[in-house]
């Protein structure tokens, strides 16, 4: 194992050993407090451009499930078709693994997908630095390569449109029967008639379990690129997905949502970045959190009730409640820091969640939100 160093933008250095693919990378360094779920987290497109630190110390002990693909093109056990995180940083990597569904080690998977992994890092100290100073850019440098990397500047995370990198490039039509069809994303596309309800899903970096949660409620899903204008299509509901990066880079999606809002009876549901884009379409502003919410244990309260839910989260930006228009109101509030966790329109069938009701991984307490959306169709 080669010696490797994580260097943060403020000059902090953390030394460890490589257990993944050996190449220097740079990205936004973030931390996730979940105890399990590294296969889902690594393949979550929302981690694009980020170096993912896991605070739970022992990682890799249950290996990696098979990367099988269903007939409709969705991965069976993963949240996308590949690893999107730039690297994974852990305290204690387990070379031995044991699980009924494991087919390879985490290290072998990382090498196959050419993603670095570091072990032996003091992740508690690293997390303290990120909590106190906020998330920052960092780079992973291997021994004997530091001089070559020394003068390379850190890229700016907020300047890159990661959504454009991870969104689909064609239109994919999923059917509850387990099949799908592909079409070019152009103006000649139309949705074939059928008796089932149809949901247009704006793909900003969608996790596959979101699509699964819709399909198992017997609706057709038409997945379109993030900047595709779907307003000429005939459909019953609009879904806006999660995704990586700064929502301010996605103005084309916001403009298309505003166009869709001309139909005041059209049900709209957003998750994660979908919450932020729906809020922007409604006139609200977004701000960057100091160190974000990335975990399985975030408590949120449904506004106007005493109901509290434990949720899976992965976001670095939040909606400013104070900028919501008079026709909008918060739907959920984070019980740890009071930040926005969802919005709803007071009279129209439009709502969203900043957390992940589909989980994958994490608690499924709030999957009922998909039922609420489908009831509106």
Q: What are the residue numbers of the active site?
A: 272, 356, 358
Nearest alpha-carbon partner for 168 in 241, 260, 272, 273: 241
Cβ atoms of 42 and 30 within 8 Å: the answer is no
Tokens 């069938």, residue located: 349
Q: Are 54 and 171 in contact (CB under 8 A)?
A: no
Alpha helices in the chain (DSSP H): 38-42, 106-112, 123-133, 146-149, 162-166, 208-215, 251-260, 273-281, 368-376
CA separation for the pair 298, 318 (Å, rounded): 14
Nearest-angstrom CA–CA distance, 170 and 302: 36
Tokens of 193: 């008639």
Distance in angstroms (rounded) separating the CA atoms of residues 244 and 204: 8
CA gap 56, 128 in Å, rounded: 14
- For the chain, the first-to-last Cα distance in angstroms comes to 55
Residue 92 CA to residue 49 CA, distance in Å, equals: 23
Take residue 172 and report the two structure tokens written for it. 């994919």
Q: Are strands 237-240 and 332-334 parallel, antiparallel or unpaired?
A: unpaired
């Amino acid at each position: 194992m080669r010696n490797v160093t994580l260097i943060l933008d403020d000059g902090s250095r953390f030394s460890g050993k490589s257990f993944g693919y050996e190449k220097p990378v740079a990205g936004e360094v973030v931390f996730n407090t979940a105890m399990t779920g590294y296969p889902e987290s690594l393949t979550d497109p929302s981690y694009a451009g980020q170096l993912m630190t896991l605070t739970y110390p022992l990682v890799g002990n249950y290996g990696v499930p098979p990367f099988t693909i269903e007939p409709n093109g969705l991965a069976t056990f993963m949240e996308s078709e590949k690893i999107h995180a730039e690297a994974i940083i852990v305290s204690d990597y387990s070379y031995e693994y044991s699980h009924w569904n494991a087919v390879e080690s985490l290290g072998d998977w990382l090498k196959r997908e050419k993603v670095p992994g570091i072990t032996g890092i003091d992740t508690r100290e690293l997390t303290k630095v990120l909590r106190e100073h906020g998330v920052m850019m960092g780079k992973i440098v291997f021994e004997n390569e530091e001089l070559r990397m020394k003068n390379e500047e850190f890229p700016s995370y907020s300047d890159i449109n990661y959504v454009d990198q991870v969104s689909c490039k064609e239109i994919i039509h999923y059917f509850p029967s387990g099949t799908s069809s592909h079409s070019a994303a152009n103006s000649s596309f139309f949705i074939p008639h059928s008796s089932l309800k149809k949901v247009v899903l704006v793909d900003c970096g969608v996790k596959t379990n979101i699509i699964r949660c819709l399909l198992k409620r017997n609706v057709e899903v038409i997945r379109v690129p993030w900047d595709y204008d779907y307003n000429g299509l005939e459909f019953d509901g609009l879904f806006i997905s999660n995704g990586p990066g700064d929502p301010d880079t996605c103005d084309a999606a916001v403009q298309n949502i505003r166009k869709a809002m001309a139909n005041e009876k059209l049900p709209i549901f957003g998750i994660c970045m979908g919450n932020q884009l729906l809020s922007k379409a409604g006139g609200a502003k977004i701000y960057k959190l100091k160190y974000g919410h990335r975990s399985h244990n975030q408590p949120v309260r449904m506004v106007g009730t005493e109901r509290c839910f434990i949720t899976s989260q992965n976001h670095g930006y939040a909606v400013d409640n104070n900028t919501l228009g008079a026709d909008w109101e918060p739907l959920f509030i984070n019980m740890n820091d009071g930040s926005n966790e969802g919005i709803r329109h007071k009279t129209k069938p439009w709502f969203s969640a900043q957390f992940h009701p589909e989980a994958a991984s994490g608690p499924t307490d709030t999957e009922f939100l998909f039922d609420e959306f489908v009831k509106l169709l």
